[in-house]
Structure 1
Amino acid sequence: MPQFDLPLEQLEAYRPERHEPADFDDFWAQTLTASLGRADAPRFVEVDADYRELVTEDVTFSGFDGHPIKGWMLRPRHADGPLPAVVSYIGYGGGRGLIGEWTALPAAGFAHFVMDSRGQGSGHRTGDTPDPGVSGPHLGGFMTLGIESPESYYYRRLFTDAVLAVHAAQQHPTVDAQRIVISGGSQGGGISLATAALAPTVLDVPPAGAIIDVPFLSHMRRATALVDTAPYSELVRYFRTRRHSEQAAFAVLDYVDGVNFAARATLPALFSVGLLDDVCPPSTVYAAYNHYAGPKRMNVYPYNGHEQGGPVQEAEHVRFAREVVGV
C-alpha cells in the first residue's frame, strides 16, 4: 500500500496534545505497589529443550495482584555470569510460544526472559497464562476487555505483569540486575514503552534501556480515526453498537496511552517505524517518540509496514542492547 499518513518531515515534528488523567501517577503507583507487595519469589525450573548450548528454564512469577504468570528464561550454557539480559514482551494475540523461537539473543551472549501475555496465546504464538481478572462485556480480543473503568481494564493487569517481569528477571542468580534491556514490538512495543516509564518508579534498579518497535496503544484517538485494521478496529466496532460511549472509553484508555508513558520515560530507547504501517500508523508511533523524555533514536523503514523492520531491526536490537549494557 502507499504511504497514507503524514509526510516524514511532518512526522518528525508531530507532537500532539496529550490527554492525561489528573491521577495518572497515583493510579499507577498504587497499582504497582500493591502487586509488588503480593509478589512471591519467581520459580525457574530447567527443562530439556534439546538446545545443548543453552540452559532453558520454565518460569513462573507473580504478576498483577499476585497472579501466576508464565515465561521462558534462556541463557548460554558456558558463559560466565552475571549476564546482561533482555526482557521481551509479545505482540497482540500471542503468548510466550515455544522455546525454539527465542534462541537468537542467548546465542549473542544475553540471558533472555520472555514474558507470557495473560489470556493471550491463540494468535501467532501459543500462551500458557490465564487471566483471572476477566470481566464485563467486550468485543472479542482485549482492546475493550474491562473498559468500563481504569481499575478493570485489561492493560492495567498486563502492564503490571510487565514491570514485575523485570523484577523477576533481576532475581535470577545468573543475571546482572543493572544490565537489563526491555524489548517488544507492536503490543510488545506498547508494553515496553509503559514499562520504561513505570519500572523506575518502583524498582530499586531500573532497566538500562528500552527497545520500542512500532508501539501499539499510542495516540489512540488518532489511530481509531485513521485505520480500520485490527486491533484498533475492535474499538471502532465497540463504538458502533455502544454509541456515545467514546468519551468514557477514551478516558479509560488515557491511563494506558503510550504518549502519557513516553512523557515520563527517561531510559535510553531505540524505536522503529514503518511508513506503510496500517496497524500502528506512523503518526501514532511518532506521537510517542516525540514525547519521549529520554535519549532516543528512531529507525525508519519507508517501504515496510507492521513487520517492525524484520531481521534488519532484530540485528539492531543486539547492537543497541550491547551499547546500553556495555558489552
Structure 2
Amino acid sequence: MPQYDLPLVAVAPAAPPATDEPANFDAFWSQAFAAHRDIEVAPVLSAASARARDLTVEAVTFAGFEGYPVAGRLITPTGAGSTLPGLVELRPAGRTADRDLEWLASGGFAHLVVELPPDDLDDPYNRVVFTDAVRAVQALRTLARVDPSRVAVLGSGPVAAAVVAAAGLLPDLACAMVEGDIPAAHKDSLVAFARRASTPLQLTNGAGAQVLLEEWGINAAQALAAMTGSVERVVECVLTTESNTAARRTRWIAAHTQLTNVFVPQIAY
C-alpha cells in the first residue's frame, strides 16, 4: 500500500456560503462545538462477553450532547501490540445485538458501534444526533490503542445522515460511508455539511444520494481552483451498487485507513 507525505493545507473559501443553506449555519455549529469543549467526552469501558477468543468486547459509555450518556460497544483484537485504525459505526438505537458486530475487528481494527436516537425531524439542525456522532469519533480517538488519524465512520438506515454531519464537522476523517436515506427535513443542513466535507465518501443508492454526490467537497474544489485555476473534484466520492455489503465495506475502509499524512484541504469559515 503506497504511503503519501503531503501536507495539510488551509485555504479560504472561494465564495461565501450558498444562500440555500440555513441562516448562520457556520456560526451555529461553531458555537455548538465551543459549548461542548468543556464537556469531556471521557469514554468509560467495561468488559463484555465475546464469542471469539481472539477478540475483546467492551461496553462503552461517553458524554454526548450536553453531557448526556451515549452507549456503545468496542470490539478490538485481543493483545494487539500497536495502535489500530478505527471505525465508528452508527446504528439506530436497539440494533446493536446483531451477530455481525465483529465483522471488522477480526481484521485488525478498533470497531466502535454506537446507538443513536432517531432523527429529530422538528429540529432543522438535528443537533442531538449530529453532536453525538461527532462525540463518538472523539471518544474513539481518545483511546491509546487507536490511531486518531485513521478513523472511518459508517452510518446505516435511519442514522446514515449523521455521517454526513460528522464529515462536514471533522475534516480529518479517514473515510465515510453513508448507507441510508437523507431526511428531507434536514436536506439543507446536510447539503451544507456535504459542501464542507473533505473526507472520501462511499454512498449507496437512497433518497438524497444524488444530491450528496453532486455537492460533496464542492467548497474544497472551489477553494483550490481559486489557487490553481483548475476546477476538478478533489474529494473522492463514490456511489456504489455493489451487493456484497461486508466485502465492499471492508475493502473501502481498509484502503483509506492505511494511508498516513494524506493531503486534506481545510476550508476556513
Name the TM tier (shorter chain).
0.7 to 0.9
- Do structure 1's residue 61 and structure 2's residue 62 form an aligned pair? yes
Distance 2:174 2:41 in 1: 24
Q: Which residue number in structure 2 is paired with residue 297 of structure 1?
A: 238
Aligned residue for 2:46, secondary structure, equals strand
Q: Which residue number in structure 2 is paired with residue 161 of structure 1?
A: 132
Structure 1 residues 132-211: aligned runs within 5 Å:
142-144=119-121, 147=122, 150=124, 155-200=126-171, 206-211=172-177
- Distance of aligned partners of 1:64 and 1:58 in 2 relative to their CA distance in 1, 3 Å threshold: same
Alignment size in residue pairs: 225
Q: Which residue number in structure 1 is paired with residue 74 of structure 2?
A: 73
Structure 1 residues 122-133: aligned runs within 5 Å:
none
- Distance of aligned partners of 1:175 and 1:99 in 2 relative to their CA distance in 1, 3 Å threshold: farther
State the AA in 1 paired with 2:192. Answer: N
Q: Deviations over 1:64-111 (max 9, x none)?
A: 1111111110011143320011101114xx435227430101122211
Distance 2:62 2:98 in 1: 17
Shift of 1:298: 1.4
Structure showing greater relative contact order (alpha-carbon pairs closer than 8 Å, 6 or more residues apart): 2
Shift of 1:208: 1.1
Structure 1 residues 144-293: aligned runs within 5 Å:
144=121, 147=122, 150=124, 155-200=126-171, 206-217=172-183, 220=184, 253=186, 257-273=189-205, 280-281=206-207, 284-293=208-217
Distance 1:156 1:60 in 2: 19
Please tell me whether the aligned partners of residues 116 and 159 of structure 2 are also in contact (alpha carbons under 8 angstroms): no
Structure 1 residues 111-122: aligned runs within 5 Å:
111-118=110-117
- Distance of aligned partners of 1:158 and 1:271 in 2 relative to their CA distance in 1, 3 Å threshold: same
Shift of 1:143: 4.6
Aligned residue for 2:112, secondary structure, equals strand
Q: Which residue number in structure 1 is paired with residue 220 of structure 2?
A: none
Q: Deviations over 1:216-264 (max 9, x none)?
A: 22xx2xxxxxxxxxxxxxxxxxxxxxxxxxxxxx6xx456x32221111
The gaps in structure 2 that reach 5 residues or longer are: 1-17, 218-234, 260-269
User: Normalising by the residue count of structure 2, what TM-score does the alignment of the two structures yield?
Assistant: 0.76
Q: Deviations over 1:250-309 (max 9, x none)?
A: 6xx456x32221111111111121xxxxxx43xx211111100122111136xxxxxxx4
Distance 1:173 1:43 in 2: 13
Distance 1:97 1:160 in 2: 20
Distance 2:51 2:204 in 1: 34
Distance 1:214 1:99 in 2: 18
Aligned residue for 1:192, secondary structure, equals helix
State the AA in 1 paired with 2:213. Answer: Y
Distance 2:77 2:239 in 1: 30
- Distance of aligned partners of 1:74 and 1:43 in 2 relative to their CA distance in 1, 3 Å threshold: same
Q: Which residue number in structure 1 is paired with residue 49 of structure 2?
A: 48
Distance 2:248 2:41 in 1: 35
Q: Which residue number in structure 2 is paired with residue 87 of structure 1?
A: 88
Please tell me whether the aligned partners of residues 193 and 215 of structure 1 are also in contact (alpha carbons under 8 angstroms): no
Q: Which residue number in structure 2 is paired with residue 228 of structure 1?
A: none
Q: Which residue number in structure 2 is paired with residue 21 of structure 1?
A: 22
User: Normalising by the residue count of structure 1, what TM-score does the alignment of the two structures yield?
Assistant: 0.63
- Distance of aligned partners of 1:181 and 1:62 in 2 relative to their CA distance in 1, 3 Å threshold: same
Distance 1:99 1:56 in 2: 14
Structure whose residues are more often strand by fraction: 2
Share of identical aligned residues, percent? 29
